[in-house]
Amino acid sequence: MKPFTMILTLLLAMLRTSAALACANCIAASSQRTIAAYYASTMLLSLMPFALIGGIVGAVYLMGRRQRARADSLR
């Protein structure tokens, strides 16, 4: 019976629409500069994984290229 009670509690919590209004500061801050800052920070955080992966791939590529250049110079 305990899992049923837990699932029911979670469903009721998700159906409460007032939970979405929990951050009063975000709703009150509706100036154009603040909205632009929210968009900019969202874009920055969304693009960060691509920049990190690109940096790692680039570093591995450059290390391999450097190693091949050393191997060619030893011949």
pLDDT digits (tens, 9 = 90+) for 6-63: 888 888 777 776 655 556 566 566 778 877 888 899 999 999 999 999 999 999 999 9
Which residue would you say has higher pLDDT here, 24 or 70?
70
Q: Under DSSP, is residue 29 helix (H, G, I), strand (E, B) or coil?
A: coil
Answer whether residue 68 shows pLDDT above 80. yes
Answer whether residue 72 shows pLDDT above 80. yes
pLDDT of residue 47: 96
* CA separation for the pair 3, 29 (Å, rounded): 40
Contacts of 21 (CB under 8 A, 6+ apart): 27
